[in-house]
């Protein structure tokens, strides 16, 4: 009897000690977002035997079971999907804000307004040398402003392209890491501490992948993860222990495209999709900026061609170039401003041609209105994207909270477990002590 008690007490103490260690592990990793709560399976250990028609039952204590990792596949899938949507919104918003900053800080709209105002002041006295110099200087500053806007927007596009390249590298790195984890899972005994740790690493890699692009995940034997891009019928990114390489390509206009193992793919969600969308928007902004610059060049030069300079000669081009990147002041001096109509004599005060130029610059389809529409449209898009981003952030937070309820560590519950397991360890130690005393008493009876 005493030997059975010792066996029971020893198994109970071992179970309590293992439970204490696992609880301590939970508490130690309570702040880790990649950790899932562990629990220890236990079962009753009973032995039975039949001898000469007599059956007997012997109690052996407790049998330690598997290390159980808390998980919820559906909740994790929702977290990945919502995080991917949020990452796309964040990446696209960052790219749009970069473009907005570039255009606003260049003060393009203000430069066009100042140019129009300088021409309007010159119309009041077309022979005033200071007004002519001011108008010509305003034209020179406007050309420089276009170049500044073009350079700043180019920097924003370069940043977006480098972020796309970084995202592709991150996808390939995480896909390779996941393939290695899958390989280790095939060689690790299920429902052990090592297996649970590998599953944590697997889910962390999947979360990192879903931040970069939308994925569909299926699980095989021992928790091996197979990953497809987009939907369950999409191309395979990770197939067991092998990973396919993702690459990016940039067109002449700066827009990005992707291919997986040589086949074209188009991520719908994730940061890569957001950056690709931002690059497309920036390319469109570049086209609009060049169109505004070309409109300024064309209207100004056309106005000059239809008028006469101060000395009565035909007006010469005011600007050179074809876009925002190469626009420059072409007119040699302020006397060359063609304020008078064609054929007017030298030193004519007739500002009819200048009035037509002012009207062309300030027309509803002119460069001033174009720059205003450009900035207003970009601002409106950013505002709408911010609303979308806020809604997606709420969804992502709710999904994460639901997952934490399922898999997170509750410190209050773990503290309660510590007390319970400590008492169980002490009680089992007392059983061993009592059994020892009984054994000593039996021996003393001899």
Considering the domain architecture, whether residues 66 and 79 belong to the same structural domain is answered as no
Q: Total domain count for the chain?
A: 2
Does a structural domain hold residue 243?
no
Q: Can you give the pLDDT at residue 154?
A: 95
Considering the domain architecture, whether residues 296 and 386 belong to the same structural domain is answered as yes
Contacts of 151 (CB under 8 A, 6+ apart): none
Considering the domain architecture, whether residues 113 and 35 belong to the same structural domain is answered as no
Considering the domain architecture, whether residues 38 and 80 belong to the same structural domain is answered as no
**Closest alpha carbon to 348 in 366, 335, 361, 329:** 335
The C-alpha atoms of residue 137 and residue 106 are separated, in whole angstroms, by 17
Considering the domain architecture, whether residues 168 and 286 belong to the same structural domain is answered as yes
pLDDT (tens digit per residue) in 259-275: 999 899 999 999 999 99
Residues lower than pLDDT 70 in the chain: 1-3, 47-60, 446
Domain that holds residue 38: 2-70+408-445
Considering the domain architecture, whether residues 282 and 385 belong to the same structural domain is answered as yes
Does a structural domain hold residue 61?
yes
Considering the domain architecture, whether residues 38 and 162 belong to the same structural domain is answered as no
Does a structural domain hold residue 53?
yes
Does a structural domain hold residue 294?
yes
Considering the domain architecture, whether residues 24 and 141 belong to the same structural domain is answered as no
Considering the domain architecture, whether residues 320 and 284 belong to the same structural domain is answered as yes
Q: Can you give the pLDDT at residue 430?
A: 85
Does a structural domain hold residue 252?
no
Considering the domain architecture, whether residues 83 and 171 belong to the same structural domain is answered as yes
Q: Can you give the pLDDT at residue 436?
A: 80
Does a structural domain hold residue 217?
no
Considering the domain architecture, whether residues 294 and 393 belong to the same structural domain is answered as yes
Query: Cβ–Cβ contacts within 10 Å for residue 239, how many?
Result: 14
Q: Can you give the pLDDT at residue 47?
A: 61
Does a structural domain hold residue 331?
yes
The C-alpha atoms of residue 191 and residue 269 are separated, in whole angstroms, by 34
Quote helix, strand, coil % in the chain, to nearest 5: 65, 15, 20
Answer whether 288's CB lies under 8 Å from 370's CB. yes
Does a structural domain hold residue 182?
no
pTM comes to: 0.86
Query: 221: which DSSP letter?
Result: G
Residue owning tokens 């009984």:
438
Considering the domain architecture, whether residues 360 and 433 belong to the same structural domain is answered as no
């Amino acid at each position: 009897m005493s030997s059975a008690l010792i066996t029971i007490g020893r198994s109970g103490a071992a179970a309590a000690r293992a439970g204490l260690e696992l609880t301590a592990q939970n508490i130690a990793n309570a702040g880790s977002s990649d950790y899932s709560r562990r629990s220890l399976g236990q079962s009753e250990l009973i032995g039975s035997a039949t001898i000469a028609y007599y059956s007997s039952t012997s109690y052996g204590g407790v049998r330690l079971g598997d290390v159980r990792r808390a998980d919820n596949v559906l909740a994790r899938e929702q977290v990945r999907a919502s995080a991917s949507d949020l990452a796309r919104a964040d990446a696209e918003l960052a790219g749009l804000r970069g473009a907005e900053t570039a255009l606003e800080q260049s003060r393009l709209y203000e430069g066009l307004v100042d140019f129009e105002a300088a021409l309007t002041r010159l119309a009041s006295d077309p022979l005033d040398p200071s007004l002519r110099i001011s108008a010509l200087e305003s034209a020179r500053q406007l050309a420089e402003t276009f170049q500044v806007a073009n350079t700043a927007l180019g920097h924003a596009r370069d940043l977006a392209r480098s972020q796309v390249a970084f995202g592709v590298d991150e996808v390939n790195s995480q896909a390779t890491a996941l393939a290695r984890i899958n390989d280790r899972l095939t060689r690790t005994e299920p429902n052990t501490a090592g297996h649970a740790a590998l599953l944590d690493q697997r889910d962390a890699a999947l979360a990192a992948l879903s931040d970069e692009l939308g994925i569909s995940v299926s699980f095989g034997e021992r928790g091996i993860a197979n990953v497809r891009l987009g939907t369950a019928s999409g191309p395979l990114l990770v197939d067991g222990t092998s990973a396919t390489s993702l690459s990016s390509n940039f067109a002449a206009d700066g827009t990005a495209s992707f291919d997986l193992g040589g086949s074209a793919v188009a991520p719908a969600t994730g940061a890569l999709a957001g950056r690709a969308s931002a690059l497309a928007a920036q390319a469109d902004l570049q086209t609009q900026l060049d169109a505004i610059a070309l409109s300024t060049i064309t209207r100004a030069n056309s106005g000059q061609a239809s008028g006469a300079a101060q000395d009565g000669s035909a007006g010469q081009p005011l600007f050179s170039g074809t876009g925002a990147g190469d626009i420059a002041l072409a007119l040699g001096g302020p006397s060359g401003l063609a304020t008078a109509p064609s054929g007017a004599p030298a030193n004519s005060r007739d500002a009819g041609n200048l009035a037509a130029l002012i009207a062309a610059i300030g027309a509803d389809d002119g460069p001033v209105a174009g720059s205003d529409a450009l900035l207003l449209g970009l601002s409106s898009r950013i505002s709408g994207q911010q609303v979308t981003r806020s809604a997606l952030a709420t969804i992502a937070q709710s999904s994460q909270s639901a997952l934490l309820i399922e898999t997170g560590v509750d410190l209050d519950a773990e503290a309660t477990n510590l007390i319970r397991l400590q008492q169980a360890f002490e009680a089992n130690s007392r059983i061993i002590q009592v059994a020892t005393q009984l054994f000593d008493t039996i021996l003393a009876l001899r």
